[in-house]
Amino acid sequence: MSATIAATEERAALERIAEGVARLASSAPEVDLPADERVRRAKRVFIEKTDARVALDLESCLHCGMCAEACHFYEGTGQGRYAPIHKLKLLRKVYRRELGPFRLIQRLLTRDLTVAELEQWQELVFDSCTECGRCDMICPVGVHLSRGVHITRQALTAAGLAPAELRALDAEQKSTGAILGAGVEKLRSALEELRSQGIEAPLDKPQAEYLLLTTASDLLIYHRSLAATARIMNHLGLDWTFASSGFEAANSGAVSGDETAQRQATQRVVDAALACGAKFVVVPECGHAYPALRWEGPNQVGRAFPFQVLAISELIGRELESGRLRLKPLGPGKRVTFHDPCKFGRKGGVIDEPRKALAALEVDLRETESKGTTNYCCGGGGGVFFIGRAAPLRNAAFNIKRKQFDATGADSVVTSCGSCRMNFAVGAQRNNWNVPVESLVELVADGLAAPGPATDRGSVV
């Protein structure tokens, strides 16, 4: 299939996804709860999630407002209510009244949490926050703001006040294990398509060293990324498989704050990995899936994993470093910039590895002013892509990103997250921006050189 035809098919698939996303809210389960029950549930989550570390955050804020200056939603709109610290106000209120050292005084001086406040905060912690964590990097006293936002999301979700689109995704993943209709049949047909291209794509091998996950964006839109990932695994000579019982990397609960959905999605992957005896679980180009499994997964299932979690870009970087993977240069004439997906980079720690891949491909990498730990988010992470009414906010954030890209003079943007690509594609269409956004794994697959020598893989990671 030519690249042009594939790109056209991807655009058509993205439009179908966009239409499906627009219908998400109507399929969301209703949550019919009395106001006092919503407040009770939210307070319970606030209290449960506030440990000594969170308490120290809440005791230390200066109200300097610097966090707002790192937030793309504040920068893009000038609206003071989007200041990250303002988003933590309900968490702080419950902490002070219920747990804080001066709670007896606070109960006399302040009013209790209300359902109206919870409803008001829905826009602040869902629509106008991608939990990208850029604000975490600027706070002069080191308040972990994105953690506080996530706790507030969890509280609102427990109160039945997550946006309808995210509730719909949670309900689907709880019921089928998949999102956006990308279930096991989609996986099977996608793998058949790979096999028809001569790409080995094992499914449900009884034993495998590597369990490869995929995600709805790859199954529904970015087939080339799926193919590229499989080709890289094959090229490296790895013993790998997909598992029909646990293939979806996306974790809607990790985004919305629905811990039941999060735990179930994590458990599916863990069970699949244990069933095939995997030593490594490889997360595809799906940003939030990485911290959801790598960093939060063990806490969700209550024990350390007997396997390692690797991002595909992390695997590529490490294989390059070990010399087992060699790439052909794509040429210095290819001028690219790299977008660090926040969840892989700032929230995940996978920052150097994609750059090692780009260096091996010998492209002309032109970094944006904010990169790595200070990178601007695409604007659609943290589920914001799915929230219909957040479109103007996403666009404001996209335009900050676009300006950063344009300033590099690069001919294309490379990234390693399907969600970022979807958000950029929508933003590009809306703003008539014609810079292509490419997948890192696709570039790496294009540059695969002669197979590396067969070596002991025990020391890879």
Partner 1 sequence: MTLFDFARGPGMFWATTIMVIGIVWRLAGAVLLARHKDRSTPRGDNRVAAGLRAVLMRSVPPHELEKHITFQHLTGYAWHIGWFVTFLFFVPHMPFIESILGFGWPGLPNQAIVMLAAITLAILLLLLVRRIVHPVLKVISDFDDYVSTLLACAPLVTGIVAFAHLFPSHHETMIGLHILSVEALMVWLPFGKIFHCVTGLPLRFQIGAAFARRGVKA
Q: Which of 55, 203, 391, 400 binds partner 1 (CB under 8 A)?
A: 55
Closer to partner 1 by CB, 133 or 447: give it: 133
* Count of C-beta atoms within a 10 Å radius of residue 303: 9
Smaller CB separation from partner 1, 247 or 344: 344
Range in contact with partner 1 (rule: CB under 8 A) among 60-68, 114-122, 210-218, 392-400: 60-68
60 binds partner 1 (CB under 8 A): yes
Of residues 146 and 241, the one with the C-beta less far from partner 1: 146
CB of 370 to partner 1, least distance (A): 4
| Minimum distance, C-beta of residue 317 to partner 1, in the bound complex (Å) | 12
Query: Is residue 85 at the binding interface for partner 1, with CB under 8 A as the rule?
Result: yes
Contacts for 301-306: CB closer than 8 Å, 24+ residues apart:
301/263, 301/266, 301/267, 301/270, 305/270, 305/273, 305/281, 306/274
Q: Per the structure block, which two tokens stand in for 354?
A: 């994609």
Q: Are 345 and 311 in contact (CB under 8 A)?
A: no
Judged by CB under 8 A, the chain residues 142 through 181 that form the site for partner 1 are 142-144
Using CB under 8 A as the binding rule, whether residue 66 contacts partner 1 is answered as: yes
Decide if residue 461 touches partner 1 (CB under 8 A). Answer: no
Other residues' Cβ atoms within 10 Å of the Cβ of residue 60: 12
**Closer residue to partner 1, CB minimum distance, 131 or 172:** 131
Residue number, 22 or 141, with CB nearest to partner 1? 141
Q: Residue 135 or residue 227: which is nearer to partner 1 going by CB? A: 135
Other beta carbons within 10 angstroms of residue 428's beta carbon come to 17
Q: How far apart are CA 94 and CA 106, in angstroms?
A: 10
Q: Which of residues 264-323 bind partner 1 (CB under 8 A)?
A: 291, 294-299, 302-305, 308
Cα 69 from Cα 83, distance rounded (Å): 8
* CB of residue 69 to partner 1, shortest distance in Å: 4
**Residue 68 in the binding site for partner 1 (CB under 8 A):** yes
State how far the alpha carbon of 107 is from the alpha carbons of 60, 96, 217, 271, in Å. 20, 8, 48, 46
**Residue 118 and residue 47 in contact, taking contact as beta carbons nearer than 8 Å:** no
* Length, in residues, of the chain: 461
Q: Is 79 in the site for partner 1 (CB under 8 A)?
A: yes
Work out how close the CB of 327 gets to partner 1 at its nearest, in angstroms, rounded to a whole number. 23
Alpha helices in 25-158 (DSSP H): 35-49, 52-60, 72-77, 84-87, 89-94, 103-109, 115-122, 145-158
Residues within window 322-361 making contact with partner 1, judged by CB under 8 A: 345-351
Query: Residues 217, 341: contact at Cβ < 8 Å?
Result: no
CA 390 vs. chain centroid, Å, equals: 17
Give the chain's radius of gyration (CA, Å): 22
Tell me whether residue 234 or residue 370 sits nearer to partner 1 (CB atom).
370
Binding residues for partner 1 (CB under 8 A)? 50-53, 55-66, 68-70, 74-75, 78-81, 83, 85-86, 89, 99-102, 136-144, 291, 294-299, 302-305, 308, 345-351, 369-370, 373-374
